[in-house]
Structure 1
Amino acid sequence: MTTLTATETLLHKGSGLQVVVGLGQSGLSVANYLTKQGYHVAVTDSQPTPALAEQLPAAVDIRQFGAIDAELLQQAARIIISPGISLDTNAVAAARRANIPVVSDIQLFCEACTVPIVAITGSNAKSTVTTLVGQMAADAGVNVGIGGNIGVPALNLLANPDMQLAVLELSSFQLETVTNLGAQVATVLNMSPDHLDRHGDMLGYHQAKHRIFQGAKSVVINREDALTRPLVADNLPRLSTGIHAPDKGHYGLITDPEGQIYLARGTERLLSADKLQIKGRHNLLNAQAALALGELAGLPLDSMLNTLQQFTGLEHRCQYVATAAGLDYFNDSKGTNIGSTMAAIEGLGAVYAPKDGKLLLILGGQGKGQQFGELTPFINKYVSQVLFIGEDAKQIEQHLRATKLSDEVALHQCQTLESAFATIQQVTISSLSQVQAVLLSPACASFDQFSGYAARGEHFSQLVSQLATDI
């Protein structure tokens, strides 16, 4: 990062107050970044004592906690809003009406970044594909920075002066305040209803996601999902992915006469699906997306295929935990919306269906305004038992019962994971049970009972381990 001269520092301080709204990890990264750039920075947060307040630079001399300070925002030359704070928050909305610019840390990053950016969003699989592309770049000898919504604030990547490529996972919350990202390659992996409590409807959600394409030099689209197609110039380089045989130069799947599935580019078979450690059709789409993004970012194909074969997936993402009492247990706690859970049910269900096996599905938590009846076709095909937990458990059951749910699917209200495990043992003890795998894929946020999806997944895994020990 460049060091400012004394004159430049004075110019920045004269450019007006920079107000950071929300003191999470991204807010802290903004405060650190802007103070190093010589700006006068203030921070406000609704929490009375934000956990990260002690880590703020001493130069941040205005700290308004306990509520988002509307008066402070009116004094700002620019507001940098954290992704967890809605633009509809009264103080923020008033500042926007006063024509005070409101941006995110991602806007600051893309304005300062001098290396190509791979930008990835979607309702599901963002973290998997971001991690995979990052690993492909690293394995190819590229000095890569991986960050954004995946855990490392994007601005922190600028501390690496040797970075050659930035791979960013971006949420709809981050994107709604980004203009002209200018990525080397951008993609919306998929679109399904999520965060409608924040965006209002699918149109608002779609518009936020598609800001990722502004200024993009190339794009990757999912042929199975029309909502991923950007309204950009037809002459822009683009690659597509899908579950069917691809056109020349694009990615897809080819099935040989013996039923073996291959990742393919045009007519070329690249890799048989059984060589991948990540399983399920959704992961075959994820693998294609990573290959297409990597190709447009200039990564060598042979190296990417080697990385693919070594990749074991992410924690809490359709992660195999253990086998206990003849049942395989899978932790998909990061499945926090119905689209993600659809993919998990279909991906795992197709593995057990040829053996006449069914899934036991654990659903529930905070529903975020979703319509859970959309899960019914997938449940009817692959699931024989559904266990409900969490705050919106009864509402989710009502949604399913209001649709054409098969009479062969049994529903159980359990409220907690502990109660769910007791129910699992009751309903699978019969020799007639078709259940061969237990899938925690809640399709909901976890904050009603846990500090986050990771804590929920870890608790599930602990209960599985305890069950395996007791047997």
Structure 2
Amino acid sequence: MQKKVTILGGGESGAGAAILAKSKGFEVFLSDKGQLHQKYADILTSENIPFEQGQHSEDRILESDLVVKSPGIPDKVPLVVALKEKGIPVISEIEFASRYTDAKLIAITGSNGKTTTTLLTYHLLKTAGLNVGLAGNIGDSFAWAVAEKHFDYYVLEISSFQLDNIVDFHPYISLLLNITPDHLDRYGYDFQNYVNSKFNIIRNQTAADHFIYYKESEVIVKELEKRNPPVGKVEVSLDNVLGSGSYLKDGELISNINGNAFAQAFSELPIKGPHNAINALAAISVAQLLGISAEQISEGLTSFTNAPHRLEQVEVIGGVTYVNDSKATNVDSVYYALGSFDQPVILIAGGVDKGNDYSQIEELVGKKVKGLIVLGKDPAKLENYFSGKVPQIYATEDVQDAVNKGREWGVPGDIVLLSPACASFDLFKNYEDRGDQFKAAVRNLLT
């Protein structure tokens, strides 16, 4: 008898999970409470996978043998609670996909930097000639790739939401770049719940596996002391010379792992700032663990192109540089962004606040920010916090107005930086839409 698998959520991960489930002989049903993107509706129809949208047929879903849940659906929603009460397993797409591949998994998480690190790691491996796939939170469904392709390695960007519903997911190499308060609304405003979620990445790792982490993260180090996991540990540091591991010293990225030595000037890389030194060292560590040569690592580092919306230079107009960092959806990201510039900054921030604590950027803002433009429907928290701490504050709900104000305040040598610290959903579809509208508004200044 065919096992019944229900997919909750019909986005990229849901559609991918449905295709994989069908390919493995399951009786598949996909249910989305919202409206499916036409692209996914068309694919499901062409694959003869039954689906519904605009509702969840609970009686049908509660007859499932297994449920694969979109990471966007919290565990506390009544339908998920009912499934668990009935003893029906509810897992994530990355868990489901991992059950059907024998590829070595390189899983990357962290509150910040995971997209850049994932893309750079993938680029290093691909440049070196490895048969490697790229998937996860970065946009492509892991399950879809497993259903239709065959790779020896996968580089996966993994969010805390995806890690919440794993069971046996087992990376060969895991990376944890940092843990700072984020998504606390999802975790009952308890930071430890979020920490626990991130540490799920090493839950099934053994002494034969590797865990790369940032040594200067107090949260990670304290949690490791508590847990003492059996996994092989590889440290990344900006402040310490390591006998084994990867570190920055006198502007050089240095790595010594498994007797392999690597060194390259950080200035030769296309990515800048201390946060990107951490990201690069983490990616280099993966390459070292996989035995990629120093020459191949160097070639990959220097030919890398970063993702859009992450400290992306848009234009220089009248001597003022406009930078799109729309992907900075939490305070820690803004800390790293501000740390990347020595010039005076006009900061555009705001949006949907997720329980932000602005004290962690207060000192940097005081030193670097000559003006704060709050872009969002509810500017009060940012305005109140930074009132008297920056020379000028302006609030608006219009991105063109924000960019115009940046031009008005800017003088040659200044940076106008969109680095919001907040989610985008009050005024925009997502952070990409926010970044694209910012870039369009900047380019309007040229006309």
- Relative to the length of structure 1, the TM-score reads 0.87
Structure 1: how far apart are the matches of 2:104 and 2:274?
Answer: 30
Q: Is it true that 1:455 corresponds to 2:442 in the alignment?
A: no
* Structure 1 position 381, deviation (Å): 2.1
Aligned counterpart in structure 2 of residue 215 of structure 1, from 204, 218, 225: 204
* 1:291 matched to 2:284: yes
Q: Does 1:338 align with 2:331?
A: yes
Bigger mean CA offset, 43-52 vs 359-368: 43-52
- 1:261-319 deviation digits (Å, cap 9, x = unpaired): 11123697711122111111111111101111222233333311221112232211001
1:67 is displaced (CA, Å) by: 2.4
Q: Give distance in 2, aligned partners of 1:198 and 1:290.
A: 29
Contact 2:20 2:97 in 1 (8 A): no
Provide Cα deviations, 1:149-182, integer angstroms capped at 9, x if missing partner.
1011001222465411111000111110012322
1:92-131, Cα deviation, whole Å (9 max, x unpaired) = 1111122110001111111111011100011111111111
The alignment of Structure 1 onto Structure 2 pairs a total of residues equal to: 436
Gaps of 5+ in 1: 1-10, 256-260
Alignment of 1:234-383 (within 5 A): 236-255=231-250, 261-265=251-255, 270-348=263-341, 352=342, 357-383=343-369
Paired with 1:81 and 1:298, the residues of 2 have a C-alpha distance of 36
C-alpha distance in structure 2 between counterparts of 1:48 and 1:309, whole Å: 42
Shift, 1:49, TM fit: 5.4
Q: Is 1:333–1:442's contact at 8 Å kept on the other side of the alignment?
A: yes
Instruction: Give yes or no for the alignment of 1:90 onto 2:78.
Output: yes
Report the equivalent of 1:75: 63
CA shift for structure 1 position 373? 3.4
Aligned-partner SS, 2:175: strand
- 1:438 matched to which residue of 2? 416
In the other structure, the counterpart of 1:26 is 13
Preserved CA contact (<8 Å) 2:109 2:175: yes
Change (3 A) 1:368 1:72: farther
Do 2:181 and 2:191's aligned partners in 1 also have CA atoms closer than 8 Å? yes
| Deviates further, 223-232 or 175-184 | 223-232
1:188 pairs with 2:173: no
Contact 2:319–2:413 (8 Å) recurs in 1 = no
Letter in 1 for 2:123: Q
Q: How far apart are residue 383 of structure 1 and its match?
A: 1.2
Q: Secondary structure at the match of 1:321?
A: strand
**1:254, CA displacement in angstroms?**
1.1
Q: Which residue of 2 aligns with 1:414?
A: 396
Which whole-Å CA distance do the structure 2 matches of 1:304 and 1:112 have between them?
30
- CA–CA separation in structure 1 for the residues paired with 2:256 and 2:124: 21
Partner SS for 1:56 = helix
- Could you tell me the percent identity over the aligned residues? 29
Hey, which bits of structure 1, 4+ residues long, moved more than 6 A? none
Rounded to whole Å, the distance in 1 between the matches of 2:36 and 2:198 is: 32
* Equivalent residues of 1:119, 1:168 under 8 A apart: yes
Measure, in 2, the Cα distance between the counterparts of 1:206 and 1:441. 24
Show CA shifts across 1:326-360 (max 9, x none). Answer: 11111101111111111111122xxx2xxxx3111
* 1:428 CA displacement: 2.8
Whole-Å Cα distance in 2 between the matches of residues 425 and 213 of structure 1? Answer: 47
Matched, 1:127 2:122: no
Secondary structure, counterpart of 1:220 in structure 2? strand
Shift in Å, 1:324? 0.5
The answer to whether the Cα contact below 8 Å between 2:19 and 2:144 also exists between their aligned partners in 1 is no
Q: Quick one: which amino acid aligns to residue 438 of structure 1? A: V
Could you tell me which amino acid in structure 2 is paired with residue 237 of structure 1?
A: G
Question: Could you say if the C-alpha distance between residues 116 and 366 of structure 1 is closer, same or farther in structure 2, counting changes exceeding 3 Å?
Answer: same
